[in-house]
Amino acid sequence: MSWLLGNADQIVQITLVHAWYSALPIVIGFVIAIPIGWLANRYRVGRGTILAVVGLLYAVPSLPLFVALPSLLGTRILDPANVIVALTIYAIAIMVRTASDAFASVEIDVLLSATAVGFSTWRRFWSVELPLAGPVLLSGIRVVSVSTISLLSVGSVIGVTSLGYFFLDGFQRAFALEIIVGIVGTIVIAVIFDLLLSLAGRLLMPWNARPPSRRAVRRAEARTLVEAA
């Protein structure tokens, strides 16, 4: 307990850094994956190739990638940019397929009618396709969020600040409490990010949280009648 109090500053500090280093790849990966996913969906011929290549990125083991990136990027070995770039690559690997599925989930009739009433391709993308792909994109970014937050811990092995430091340090010192702090911290960040994402989804896509369908209402009414009888 005294360890917790004595290191509270450091715990909070590292948790915030962990949150920040996770947020960057989540957001950057999302932004990059959307145009790639859109292209993969639009040009059916290239779809298989794009998805296969991007999917393979996820097969690259994280530790070698962290170590290899400095020579590829010209960064210093301890630069957090290495880990952020690596996690962005993983985020893209997950997100491109989801983005492609998200755009495929938009009803073709809606797109057709948008074109028919005079949306240009550009305008149709921003005001019809992107918002309607939103629910599936949201579910994708929630997966990316959790995965990125947990993967970042591995960065501690090459000396980049993250909650992984507490696992490593606790493990070496055989000090369970420190390991638990690392785990709980990671979970807390993941839960908070997830809540923020679903809140953003609800604010940005109010049509998606529709009130119960008429059938559901009727079923509920029927149940009340049955119970009353």
Partner 1 sequence: MIEFRSVTKRFPDGTVAVRDFSLVIPSRRITVLVGSSGSGKTTILRMINRMVDPTSGTIEIDGDDIAGIEPVGLRRGIGYVMQNAGLLPHRRVADNIATVPVLRGVRRKDARARALELMDTVGLDRSLADRYPSQLSGGQQQRVGVARGLAVDPNILLMDEPFGAVDPLVRAELQRELLRLQRDLDKTVVFVTHDIDEALLLGDQIVIFTTGGIVAQAGTPQEILAAPADEFVARFVGADRGKRALHVREQNGRPVVVDSEGRAAGVLVPDDAGLGARAGDGSPADGSAPGGRPEPARDGGAR
- Minimum CB separation of residue 145 from partner 1 in Å reads 23
Q: Which stretch binds partner 1 (CB under 8 A): 11-19, 67-75, 206-214, 220-228?
A: 206-214
Element (H, E) at 85: helix 80-104
13 lies in the binding site for partner 1 (CB under 8 A): no
136 lies in the binding site for partner 1 (CB under 8 A): no
Q: Which stretch binds partner 1 (CB under 8 A): 57-65, 71-79, 118-126, 193-201?
A: 118-126
Q: Which two tokens stand for residue 5?
A: 């109090």
128 lies in the binding site for partner 1 (CB under 8 A): yes
Distance CA 78, CA 129 (A): 41
CB 1 within 8 A of CB 180: no
Q: Which is nearer to partner 1, 74 or 122 (CB)?
A: 122
Q: Which two tokens stand for residue 168?
A: 């490593």
Q: Which stretch binds partner 1 (CB under 8 A): 35-43, 78-86, 137-145, 207-215?
A: 207-215
| Residue 152, CA atoms < 13 Å, CB-side half-sphere | 37
- Minimum CB separation of residue 29 from partner 1 in Å reads 25
- Minimum CB separation of residue 221 from partner 1 in Å reads 18
CB 78 within 8 A of CB 13: no
120 lies in the binding site for partner 1 (CB under 8 A): yes
Distance CA 26, CA 8 (A): 27
Q: Which stretch binds partner 1 (CB under 8 A): 23-31, 103-111, 156-164, 193-201?
A: 103-111
Residues 6+ apart with CB under 8 A from 62: 86, 90, 151, 154
Taking residue 19's Cβ as centre, other Cβ atoms within 10 Å add up to 19
217 lies in the binding site for partner 1 (CB under 8 A): no
215 lies in the binding site for partner 1 (CB under 8 A): no
- Binds partner 1 (CB under 8 A): choice among 123, 173, 219, 223: 123
CB 54 within 8 A of CB 39: no
Using CA atoms, how far residue 54 sits from 47, 129, 148, 220, in Å, is: 11, 22, 17, 46
Q: Which stretch binds partner 1 (CB under 8 A): 42-50, 93-101, 126-134, 187-195?
A: 126-134
Binding site for partner 1 (CB under 8 A): 107, 109-110, 112-120, 123, 128, 131-132, 205, 207-208, 210-211
